[in-house]
A = this chain, B = another copy of it.
Amino acid sequence: MSLKNRNLVTIDDLSNGEIEAVFSLTDEMSELMDKQSAVCRGKIMASLFFEPSTRTRLSFEAAMHRLGGSVITAVDGGTTSLAKGESLADMARVIGSYADIIVIRHPWEGAAKIFADYAGVPVINAGDGGHEHPTQTLCDLYTLLKERQTIEGLNIALFGDLENGRTIHSLTYALARFGANIGFPSNAGRELPEYVKRKLTVEYRGQFKKYKDLPPAIQKRLFPLDAVYITPSSPHQLAMMPEININIEIKLKAMKAGVDALYVNRRQLERLSSIAEGEGLKEDYPVIDKKFLKGKEYKEALVMHPLPRVDELAYELDDDPKSMYFKQAARGVPIRMALLTLLLGEKEISIPAKEDLSVPKRDYPLYRHDFGFIDHNSKCVSQLDTEKRYIKPEFKIVSKEPLTLSCVYCEHEIHPQYIASSDPHHEKSLDSRKYHSANTYWVRNIKPENLIIFDTEDSAKENGFKPSYYAGASRDRNDPGKVSKEQ
């Protein structure tokens, strides 16, 4: 079996079995670190970093060199200029004609998907805004696996900025898929985004539970934790380039570190994880240091961090054999060697025969109509002027009640308030060219391929639709007869 010409845009682009095959090749690659291999001789990797980065970029480039391949690099610290320039699609097509594989980091969420759609060669996402960073997740998973032999059933606590940490998003999906339990502290303002939570619960069939609501027997089984994972207290994009202004005010505002969000994986309903219950309230960002780790729940915990650190991880832990962060970084090279080799088709893989733990991908119906501007995430690549020239909005309809659409580029979700049908003849009971509240039973009656959505009534009217009897939001969604019309 081959991964040739596959992309790695989100961690879900690899099945659990495929991830294990990558790790198996990683073990081989680790042996080769001292002598250059010729596995990728004659191949060119384009390393395109439109956000400051040193670590990830150099790790990929070192990996390609160790494989005997060549590298062409473009680094751009500015982001605003991109809007004035060419589209990602054009850039992807041109660079795709120069190189055999592309690694891209970009500040816009979904940018890596555009590249994958247009480049004609394999594309690896090295971070697209606040969306995903799947190769960091591979480093994290591989480290856990090397230290604990398995991911299934591990109790992992995640600290830090869970809202904007793209490494966290990719990681939670992977941990969930491999059957780990994940603990999240309740940090107001930095919680996991809703769309990540939905994916964890609906797609990976997990549950979120408060620690204190768990039966004592289960509480007990959660400790000691296998690992704590903390993200930087300020974005490392500041590390190398001075020009970027990121609003870090939001990120640094006071947070409560007390635990009340618990993610319970679908396969391990009996095993729940919790962290820092006893931590009480804390101003500002958590700091992992020797004192913090004295709690008995941490006595066997690996300390993990995607690096670079700022203040949230004390230097006094560096010599502790349970500190994994430099190992996570160092393992990035053989992991990326394995990945490049496989996507370039220079080696075949054999998927381990044992049951694949990953949740099969759902085939949601797609929403592609372009009625009015669908404003869902100002950092989404589909919202940008340069890209709108060729991208049509595209959403997965992931839920009908409440009506929920997930952008295929950035995965942010919207909950449109008004709906209509593009084909009233197939849905006789609907008036032609009328719009309805999304909060009525009619949402079930419109076929996905005919669905039209609007943010506001004004938007619906501008597109030539009139309010139906069911345009009021308060109508009973199960019984259209029971209506007390608003106005």
Contact = CB atoms under 8 A, between A and B. Distances in A.
Interface of A: 34-36, 41-44, 46, 54-55, 57-59, 61-62, 65-66, 70-76, 78-82, 84-86, 89-91, 93-95, 97-99, 234, 236, 238-243, 307-311, 315, 318, 326, 329-330, 332-333, 389-390
A390 B236 CA distance: 19
A329 B95 CA distance: 9
Given A44-B65, A86-B309, A98-B332, 7 more contacts: A62-B98, A75-B75, A78-B241, A81-B239, A85-B239, A94-B329, A98-B333
B239 A58 contact: no
Central interface residue in A41, A93, A98, by most chain B CB within 10 Å: A98
B66 A44 contact: yes
Nearest to A61: B72
A224 to B, nearest CB: 27
A35 B315 CA distance: 46
Given A81-B241, A86-B239, A326 B97 contact: yes
Contacts of A66: 42, 44
A136 to B, nearest CB: 13
Contacts of A41: 36
A82 B243 CA distance: 12
B315 A390 contact: yes
Nearest to A41: B36
Given A85-B238, A242-B78, A94 B44 contact: no
8 contacts: A35-B42, A58-B72, A61-B72, A76-B240, A81-B239, A85-B239, A86-B236, A94-B326
Closest 9 CB pairs of A and B: A36-B42, A85-B239, A78-B242, A86-B308, A97-B330, A65-B70, A81-B242, A62-B98, A315-B390
Contact of A236 (B73, B85, B326): B85
A206 B95 CA distance: 38
B59 A65 contact: no
B99 A62 contact: yes
A75 B76 CA distance: 11
A123 to B, nearest CB: 15
A241 B59 CA distance: 24
Nearest to A68: B42
Contacts of A310: 86
A66 B41 CA distance: 10
Given A85-B239, A90-B307, A91-B54, A73 B76 contact: no
Given A44-B66, A58-B74, A81 B240 contact: yes
A416 B455 CA distance: 67
Nearest to A84: B238
Nearest to A95: B58
A307 B86 contact: yes
Contact of A55 (B42, B94, B236): B94
Contacts of A98: 58-59, 62, 330, 332-333
Nearest to A244: B81
A238 B84 CA distance: 7
Contacts of A311: 389
A28 to B, nearest CB: 16
A240 B85 contact: yes
Central interface residue in A82, A240, A241, A311, by most chain B CB within 10 Å: A240
Contacts of A73: 73
B389 A315 contact: yes
A145 to B, nearest CB: 19
A337 B164 CA distance: 44
A86 to B, nearest CB: 3
